[in-house]
Amino acid sequence: MRMPQLTRALVLEAPQQISDGAGGYIRQWEPLGTLWAELKAGSGRETAAFAATVSRVPYRITVRAAPEGAPSRPIAGQRFRNGTRIFNITAVAEKDTDARFLTCHATEETAS
């Protein structure tokens, strides 16, 4: 197996629901830490959204493994941030049989 080149620092963020004071909630993102990662883009596509066109690109993001339940282990529903770029995590799987790395399947959306 080729060793991943973990050359990108990504901030792992988890959603938090905060009361808005009117009986509802707003979503805020709490940083959990920085992970070094390798990003591999897939084939993108463009779709129509409300009043705009949205480009969606799937990514395979490889990070070092962490034990189940550790705050540094990504899970679906969290996201990675790299500056203004956001990668929404849809699934996480072990990359190798030794469980040294994780593959995070994520999607980046941008309005075009």
Domains and CATH numbers, the chain: 8-111 (2.40.10.270)
Q: What is the pLDDT along the chain (112 residues), one digit of tens a residue?
A: 688 999 999 999 999 999 888 888 899 999 999 999 999 998 866 676 666 777 889 999 999 999 989 999 999 999 999 999 999 999 999 998 888 999 999 999 887 6
- Three-state SS letters, the chain: CCCCCCCEEEEEEEEEEEECCCCCEEEEEEEEEEEEEEEEECCCEEEEECCEEEEEEEEEEEEECCCCCCCCCCCCCCEEEECCEEEEEEEEEECCCCCCEEEEEEEEEEEC
Which pLDDT score is estimated for 86? 95
Q: Please give the pLDDT value at position 52.
A: 72
Full-model pTM: 0.86
